[in-house]
Amino acid sequence: MSSIAPLAILSAVVPMNSPAEDWVLQSGAGPRRYTRDVVFERSFSGPPVVQLGVVGVDSSRDHNLRLRVGAENITPAGFTLVVETWWETVLFGVDVSWLAIGS
């Protein structure tokens, strides 16, 4: 009989906005990308499954909203949260909720 390790669940909301020094989503045209490292409160035994959701957006009404979020470099200790936009979309802020499930 195989044993099943108990699951661990961690979650949080990451607010990101224009006061950040490296915020590049407020101006420009073409593809733009902003990243933020997320460090888990405690490590998992292996890379967890990470689910993301956009829970807040502050954007200009002058252009269409184009927004993509993703998780990269997922490790037992954390991941890199990625927010992307393109064309003339102007983002003043994005709040992203994340949920990590692993053992």
pLDDT digits (tens, 9 = 90+) for 22-45: 788 888 778 999 999 999 999 999
What does the alpha-carbon distance between residue 90 and residue 82 come to, in Å, rounded to a whole number? 16
Neighbour tally for 1: CB within 10 Å: 3
Per-residue pLDDT band at 55 (split at 50, 70, 90): very high
Q: What is the pTM of this model?
A: 0.87
Domain ranges for the chain: 8-102
CB-based contacts of 39, cutoff 8 Å, min separation 6: 77, 78
Which has the higher per-residue pLDDT, 12 or 30? Answer: 12
- pLDDT at res. 5: 67
Fold classified for 8-102: Immunoglobulin-like (2.60.40)
Look over the chain and give the mean of its residue pLDDT values, rounded to a whole number.
90
| Model confidence band, residue 64 (pLDDT cutoffs 50, 70, 90) | confident
